[in-house]
Amino acid sequence: MNKQETPTFPSRLPKVGTTVFTVMSALANEHHAINLGQGFPDFPCDRQLITHVNEAMLADHNQYPPMIGVADLRNGIAEKIQNLYGHHYDAESEITITAGGTQGIMTAVLSCVSPGDEVIIIEPAYDSYRPSIELAGGKTIAVSLEVIRDETGRVTSYQIPWDALAKAIHSKTRLIIINTPHNPTGMVWGTADLDKLANLVRNTSALILSDEVYEHMVYDGAQHHSVASHPELAARSFLISSFGKTYHVTGWKVGYVAAPPLLTKEFRKVHQFNVFTVNTPMQYGLAAYLADAKHYLNLPAFYQAKRDFFRAGLSKTDFKLLPTPGTYFQCVDYTALNIPEAKLNEADFCKWLTSKIGVAAIPVSAFYDQATESGVIRFCFAKQEQTLTNALQRLQNL
C-alpha cells in the first residue's frame, strides 16, 4: 500500500517548543495543583464589562470593525495616555487595536526588522520576543539584567545592565525591546532610566518597543513611567499595552499599539494581513468601560493588597522574597529551603513543586535563551485570597 507522506521542510523556529506557560498550566491541571504559574486571574471580571459587550452584540456590532480598531476605543486610549503620561497620540494615525499584546509585539517586530537587523532584548525576557525576531530574519542580541546578590550568594534584586546595553547598540541595531513593569522580575523603570535609554539611542537609528502590559500594576505609591511620558523616546517607540491584564480578561485577547505615524503606517501594513481586524463587540464593550478611569486607577490598590497578603504568607517560609514594585508576579529564591529539592534546577524544582506539593510556579530560567540558573521562581498572585491561602498552606509546610 502506498503510504501517504507529509513532505518535510526546515522549521522556521527549530528551537521553539510549547511555551513554558502552557506546559506548566497543563502540569498543574494534571496534578490538580493550585496554578500560580501562568499569569492570569482566577476571579471573574466586572459584570458591567460583560454587560457592555452584550449590549454591543445586541446592538448588532458584529461585523468587521475598521482595520485599525473601533474609533471610540482608540479615542478612549488616546485620552487615557494623555491624562496619565501627558503625550498626545492621534487616534487616527497613531493607535491600532491588536489581538492582545503578543500580537502587537510580533506585528511591530515584523514591520520594522529586516533580515540581518539586530534587535536587543534584556533577559530574563518574555518568551515571545525571540521567536518574533527570528521570524523577521533579525538577529537577537541578548543582554542580561544584572543580578544583585547578598553576601550568601542569594538573589536580592535586578538592575538594568547599562554598560552592556551601551556596548550592544551600534549601526545595525534596528530595535531595542524593553518591558516595564517587568515580567518576570517585577522591576520597574524610573524616569532616570528612560533618560539613560534616550541618551544611548540619541543619534542612532534604533527604534524602541516598550512592552507595558502591566502598566497599571505599580505599587507603594510609585508611578508607571511609560515611553509615552518621554517625548524623545515616544518619537521612536512602539508602545504596547493590553486590556487582558488590566480588566481581568486575559482570554479576550485585546490590546493596542501606540506609535508615531511613520511606525504606525508600517505596523498597519503587517497588521491588516496578520489579523486584519480584532473582534468588534469586545472593542465596543471595552470602549464603554474605559470611559470610567476608576476601572484602571483602582488597580494598584487592588493588586497591592494581594501582593502584600501573599508576601506576608511567604515570609513565614524559607523562600527568600525578591522585591515586587510592579506586575502581578512574586519572585522567590528557593535555595535556602531546608529540603533536598532546594538543589534542583529551577525547571525541575517547579515540576516537583507542581506535582508533589500542588503549587505551580514558573522557572525564571525559562526567560533566558542559554541555561541561566539563579535559584529563582515566579508565582502569580492574581488570585482570590482563598486560592492564595490554600497555596500558602502548602508552601508553609515545606
Compute how many residues bind ligand GLN; rule: CB under 6 A: 5
Query: Using the rule CB under 6 A, is 324 a contact of ligand GLN?
Result: no
Residues between 176 and 195 that touch ligand GLN (CB under 6 A): 183
For 266-326, give the DSSP string. Answer: HHHHHHHHHTSS--HHHHHHHHHHHTSTHHHHTHHHHHHHHHHHHHHHHTTSSPEEPP-SB
Q: Identify which of residues 183 and 185 has a Cβ nearer to ligand GLN in the complex.
A: 183
Task: Give residue number: closest CB to ligand GLN.
Answer: 39
State in angstroms the smallest separation of the CB of 19 from ligand GLN: 5
Q: Smallest gap, in angstroms, from Cβ of residue 296 to ligand GLN?
A: 18
Nearer to ligand GLN, 131 or 190 (CB): 131
Choose which of 35, 38, 103, 354 interacts with ligand GLN (CB under 6 A). 38
> What letter represents residue 196's amino acid?
K
- State the Cα–Cα distance between residues 322 and 330, nearest whole angstrom: 7
Minimal distance, residue 45 CB to ligand GLN, in Å: 17
Q: Which is nearer to ligand GLN, 19 or 272 (CB)?
A: 19
What are the φ and ψ backbone dihedral angles of 216, each rounded to 5 degrees? Answer: -95, 15
Query: Least separation, in Å, of the C-beta of 21 and ligand GLN?
Result: 3
Q: What angle in degrees, to the nearest 10, is found between the helix axes of 280-290 and 71-85?
A: 40
CB of 184 to ligand GLN, least distance (A): 7
Residues between 233 and 262 that touch ligand GLN (CB under 6 A): none
Report yes or no: 363 and 349 within 8 Å, Cβ to Cβ. yes
Report which residue type is found at 61.
Answer: H
Q: Do 120 and 138 meet the contact criterion of CB atoms below 8 Å apart?
A: no
Task: Give me the helices (H) in 182-228, please.
Answer: 191-201
Q: In terms of CB distance, is 117 or 127 closer to ligand GLN? A: 127
* Minimum CB–partner distance for residue 379 and ligand GLN (Å): 11
Say which amino acid occupies 231.
P
Q: Does 39 bind ligand GLN (CB under 6 A)?
A: yes
Rounded to the nearest whole angstrom, what is the least distance from the CB of residue 183 to ligand GLN in the complex? 5
Measure the CA–CA gap between 140 and 173, rounded to whole angstroms. 10
| Residue number with CB closer to ligand GLN (21 or 296) | 21
Q: In sequence order, which residues have a C-beta less than 8 Å from that of residue 376 and are 6 or more positions away? A: 155, 322, 331, 332, 333, 334, 346, 364
Can residue 21 be called a binding residue for ligand GLN (CB under 6 A)?
A: yes
Q: Is 327 in the site for ligand GLN (CB under 6 A)?
A: no
Whole-number Å distance between alpha carbons of 283 and 281 = 5
Contact positions with ligand GLN (CB under 6 A) in 63-82: none
CA angle 153/156/157 to nearest 5° reads 130
Q: How far apart are CA 255 and CA 278, in angstroms?
A: 9
The CB-based long-range contact list for 318-322 (8 Å cut-off, 24+ gap) reads 318/398, 319/395, 320/154, 320/155, 320/156, 322/155, 322/156, 322/157, 322/185, 322/186, 322/376
Distance in Å, CB of 127 to ligand GLN, minimum: 7
Is there binding between residue 19 and ligand GLN (CB under 6 A)? yes
Q: Binding string to ligand GLN for residues 279 to 318, with x set by CB under 6 A, is what?
A: ----------------------------------------
Write the binding mask 157 to 176 for ligand GLN: x where contact by CB under 6 A, - elsewhere: --------------------
Residues that bind ligand GLN (CB under 6 A): 19, 21, 38-39, 183
